[in-house]
Amino acid sequence: MELCDIIKPENLVYKKPELMNDNPMHYCPGCSHGVIHKLIAEVIEEMGMKEKTIGVSPVGCAVFAYNYLDIDWQEAAHGRAPAIATAIKRLNPGKMVFTYQGDGDLAAIGTAETIHAANRGENIVIVFVNNAIYGMTGGQMAPTTLEGMATSTTPYGRDIALNGHPLKISNLLAQLEGTGLVTRQSVQNPAAVRKAKKMLRKAFENSMMGKGTSVVEFVSTCSSGWKMTPAQSNKWMEENMFPAYPLGDLKNVD
């Protein structure tokens, strides 16, 4: 007999979302992906959209999302998730379609696909995990890497004269007429998690009401890529990432 079988419903404080399967998560300790997966699963369940949701995951750490969320998935080539999501949503307008992408994928390889899908106002949700580094492939500089931030390809720190400025792509997407919601969130503490879930819910609802493209950026940690402990990563994110990528709504059209 399992513990949940002997716990009375009125005493149950929390349980794992039904959409999250029992596969052991491979993510590094302190990684934000697991928490974001949980929020997506909870929102889909609470909306009653399990059978109507299709996720699109490309390359990078994001590609493993389909191992953990029990919904229909389509894998995309690196950076091409918004293009695939566009086709799926147009062919199946009654489906709730979202992409799940990292910063190297969305803001580098897939910049064109991201911008043009948002500019067209495709009724999809783009979930954007920004940890300012290529986490899976060796910790290289990403478009979102901060000035002075050390990576495997910028060991002495990102040099603006050589590498250019960090790309604040959500700010760009907020300027497009096709976006209805562009928000920047995090999951580093319980209060942030609650706010992030609220905005995810709004994004998914917008997509089903035909309000254009919704973008939910998560400013996140990468303990392995940053060469820090999870606690150090959270602190570094708060002190360095948040000033560069301030949390809050960049665009919210009701």
More confident: 92 or 66: 92
Cα–Cα separations (whole angstroms), residue 171 to 167, 184, 207: 9, 10, 20
What integer pLDDT is reported at residue 139 of this predicted model?
83
pLDDT beyond 70 at 216: yes
What integer pLDDT is reported at residue 39 of this predicted model?
97
What integer pLDDT is reported at residue 4 of this predicted model?
54
151 contact partners, CB below 8 Å, separation of at least 6: 133, 134, 139, 140, 141, 142, 145, 158, 225
**DSSP for residue 241:** I
Which domains are delineated in the chain?
27-131+164-252 (3.40.50.970)
What integer pLDDT is reported at residue 122 of this predicted model?
98
Q: What is the pLDDT of residues 4-49, one digit of tens each?
A: 556 667 777 777 888 898 888 889 888 999 999 999 999 999 999 9
Q: What is the pLDDT of residues 146-203, one digit of tens each?
A: 999 999 999 999 999 999 999 999 999 999 999 999 999 999 999 999 999 999 999 9
Do 131 and 88 meet the contact criterion of CB atoms below 8 Å apart?
no
Note if the pTM is more than 0.85. Answer: yes
77 burial level (CB within 10 Å; 0-12, 13-18, 19+):
middle
What integer pLDDT is reported at residue 254 of this predicted model?
82
Least confident span in 11-15, 52-56, 122-126? 11-15
As a whole number of Å, the end-to-end CA separation of the chain is: 48
C-alpha span between 154 and 159 (Å, rounded): 8
Q: What percent of the chain is predicted at pLDDT more than 90? A: 81
